[in-house]
Structure 1
Amino acid sequence: MDRILLDGVDIGALPKVSLHDHLDGGLRPQTIIEIADEIGLELPAKDADALGDWFAESADSGSLVDYLKTFDVTTAVMQTEGALVRIAREFVLDLADDGVVHGEIRWAPEQHLTRGLSLDAAVEAVQAGLDEGVALVRSRGRRIQVGQLVSAMRHLDRWTEIAELAIRHRDRGVVGFDIAGPEDGFPPSRHSEAFDLLSRAHMPVTVHAGEAAGIDSIRDALFAGRTLRLGHGVRIAEDITVDDRGDDLLVELGATAEWVRSRQIPLELSPSSNLQTGAIAAFGDQLDDHPFDLLYQLGFRVTVNTDNRLQSDTSLTNELALLAETFEYDLDDLEQLQVNAARSTFLPVEERDDLVEHITDVFDELR
């Protein structure tokens, strides 16, 4: 990975927290090629570099629906125990190479059953791969911890079954629950019994909201889904009015935006992905149009994420570098963004405090 410097410090060496990173969006192109060859799957490209380019170009559509079509390829090679173990192990190694010290990795087990795996066997295979990856990283003297976020696909209506799956594995690597997939038309209130179950079991929840749909989607995630974090949540900015009066800006927050800010509900923002999917279309189509800085300056708990490293051809290092260049952030800003993420993990409070301390210590050492 190329070194990217900010104030003389390699951003890649900074400790990072990854809250929104999809397992099926972080495969190595060469791994896809090798597994596809084993199972006889035809790919749009046979060279790793060309295949990586195909994913990035196909995903850069301005539509979440088109963006999601690229996952037909990745999920196709993630249908056996061996494939899931390998992909999860490599995922952790790639996070570590990006400086990630804590990662919460989301994926939807129900999409990985076409070759005979059960839901439980799929979760166990991914956990085995994550454990192998963590052991390898730590054997090299580096720090990392990871957990699974088990996602239910919004349009497949197995929410309660997947919620029960997450609860069954909560002491074996699963740290939370998510719903993913087509957002518009599939709100959490569609299956409120799943969220009732999760709430009674004290299972943390993060919900994709405020990406392909707007404020109503965010409200439903907050109040029907009882979400502790907003997956993307970028369209909360549509509930903010900014009146430019020359030297002064008059900012007014709507009721939902005020609720999210006042309660410091984390926003899992993914700048490059938000551009690709058209999530910020109301504001523009360039990174400097992204409301990231507006939300940061207003005191929302913003975090930086990759969403899907393969489709967006990115890393946390790259996302931080893009933000620093676009909004003139310095190391203090990048530290605050990582502290925000650390405080937003689904770890127990003592472990969150330890993670924050580690991040601030390393930033101090690297300055």
Structure 2
Amino acid sequence: MELTPADIKAAPKVLLHDHLDGGLRPATIVELAAEVDHELPTTDADALGTWFTEAADSGSLERYLETFAHTVGVMQTPSALTRVARECAEDLAADGVVYAEIRYAPELHVERGLDLADVVAAVQQGFEEGMAASGGRIVVRHLLTAMRQAARAMEIAELAMEWRDRGVVGFDIAGPEAGFPPTRFLDAFEYLQRENSHFTIHAGEGFGLPSIWEAVQFCGADRLGHGVRIVDDIEVDESGTAHLGRLASYVRDKRIPLEMCPSSNVQTGAADSIEEHPIKLLASLRFRVTVNTDNRLMSGTSLSKEFSLLHEHVGYGWAEMEWLTVNAMKSAFLPYDERYRLITETIKPWYAERQA
């Protein structure tokens, strides 16, 4: 069955891996930059959007991360953070997303005098405004991120606990993997486990199996951010039979969710193309695969576009899209009863109607 972009946009979707500072509207960046005298490559909104995607399309994770100097640079005041968060919720709701976990690093937004709690409060206000504007069509929650190259992981983990009942549902670490292994922040992860909290870890994107192994076996990650390099532990023989190594088997057996971001992975060189993205093999082997956007601005994407690309290049239809969406909702850090309600009352009925 041929699915149109409009069909896919209308479908209820779940987003687990999306960076707040990677999803701004270009026009918003231009306006916010003018308010704080931040110099941009161009002040034409359309041209700026193109600049971001072209600058990020380099095949290098490090080069990809450099583009964030401009988005983070304009997200340094409460009003800017609230606006960006509100527009994020509005844009996702318009794209058919019914549940989203949006991550950001509070420590990156304190250059103009805000403290960490000020940042979270401003973002929460924006999410509340965006959810209200959507008429209840979307639920948005935060993931607080600590930067791997910094040394504030415990501080951010404690902040996540302070806000755990006020919109924050988990913790994450992000930034360059090489040279900054997840075990560097073991004290923060052990603290979160003692507090019965949830966390995901960026692992297996810019670095290989050792990063995933540490994230899972030392740190106890609930989910893997990207995790695409788990395929390095899978061999497919000439007959097409897949042979899983011990780490890949463990990740699959434990149902550890993989936050796959197809377009972003191609941009950063973690995958050669959408057609050859490991998501196809991993999904066929029934790993707990989910589909995500990572950075909508830098990748020029949306969750609907990611599914459209998988439909066009991998052949996924409604059945696969439903399976991937349910995977994501099962893997969310939302309480069980709320996840169950969204699956049974919103997601499954919609897809059942389309496949009847």
Kindly report the root-mean-square deviation, in angstroms, between the aligned alpha carbons of the 2 structures. 1.3
On the 8 A contact 1:134/1:145 being kept in 2, the answer is yes
State how far apart, in whole Å, the 2-side matches of 1:195 and 1:188 are: 9
2:145 aligned residue: 151
Partner SS, residue 306 of structure 2: helix
Partner SS, residue 293 of structure 2: coil
State how far apart, in whole Å, the 2-side matches of 1:34 and 1:97 are: 22
1:115 aligned residue: 112
Q: How does 1:275-290 map to 2 (within 5 A)?
A: 275-280=266-271, 285-290=272-277
1:262 aligned residue: 253
1:363 aligned residue: 351
Which range is displaced more, 60-69 or 9-18?
A: 9-18
On the 8 A contact 1:177/1:204 being kept in 2, the answer is yes
State how far apart, in whole Å, the 2-side matches of 1:79 and 1:95 are: 23
Indicate yes or no: 2:124 matched with 1:130: no
State how far apart, in whole Å, the 1-side matches of 2:68 and 2:322 are: 32
On the 8 A contact 1:92/1:133 being kept in 2, the answer is yes
Residue of structure 2 aligned with 1:309, choices 275, 296, 314: 296
1:250 deviates by 2.1
Indicate yes or no: 2:28 matched with 1:31: yes
| TM-score normalised by L of structure 1 | 0.94
2:178 aligned residue: 184
State how far apart, in whole Å, the 1-side matches of 2:44 and 2:306 are: 26
On the 8 A contact 1:12/1:317 being kept in 2, the answer is yes
Indicate yes or no: 2:220 matched with 1:250: no
State how far apart, in whole Å, the 2-side matches of 1:8 and 1:177 are: 33
Instruction: Letter of the 1:153 partner, please give it.
Output: M
- Change in Cα spacing, 1:58 to 1:8, as seen in structure 2 (3 Å) is closer
1:348 deviates by 1.3
Residue of structure 2 aligned with 1:274, choices 251, 256, 265: 265
1:74 aligned residue: 71
Aligned positions, number: 354
Indicate yes or no: 2:296 matched with 1:299: no
1:96 aligned residue: 93
Q: Which digits, 9 at most, give the CA deviation of each residue in 1:181-236, with x for residues without a partner?
A: 11112122112111111111111000000000101000111122211100000000
On the 8 A contact 1:7/1:331 being kept in 2, the answer is no
Q: Where does the alignment leave 5 or more consecutive residues of structure 1 unmatched?
A: none
State how far apart, in whole Å, the 1-side matches of 2:129 and 2:94 are: 15
1:365 deviates by 2.9
Instruction: Letter of the 1:363 partner, please give it.
Output: Y
State how far apart, in whole Å, the 1-side matches of 2:132 and 2:354 are: 26
On the 8 A contact 2:90/2:130 being kept in 1, the answer is yes
Instruction: Letter of the 2:160 partner, please give it.
Output: A
Q: Where does the alignment leave 5 or more consecutive residues of structure 2 unmatched?
A: none
Partner SS, residue 288 of structure 1: coil
State how far apart, in whole Å, the 1-side matches of 2:253 and 2:202 are: 20
State how far apart, in whole Å, the 2-side matches of 1:32 and 1:57 are: 17
Instruction: Letter of the 2:133 partner, please give it.
Output: L
State how far apart, in whole Å, the 1-side matches of 2:143 and 2:5 are: 35
Indicate yes or no: 2:328 matched with 1:341: yes
1:7 deviates by 7.4
- Change in Cα spacing, 1:262 to 1:37, as seen in structure 2 (3 Å) is same
- Change in Cα spacing, 1:253 to 1:129, as seen in structure 2 (3 Å) is same
State how far apart, in whole Å, the 1-side matches of 2:5 and 2:12 are: 16
Q: How does 1:58-69 map to 2 (within 5 A)?
A: 58-69=55-66
| TM-score normalised by L of structure 2 | 0.97
1:105 aligned residue: 102
State how far apart, in whole Å, the 2-side matches of 1:332 and 1:9 are: 17
State how far apart, in whole Å, the 2-side matches of 1:354 and 1:84 are: 30
Which range is displaced more, 356-365 or 203-212?
A: 356-365
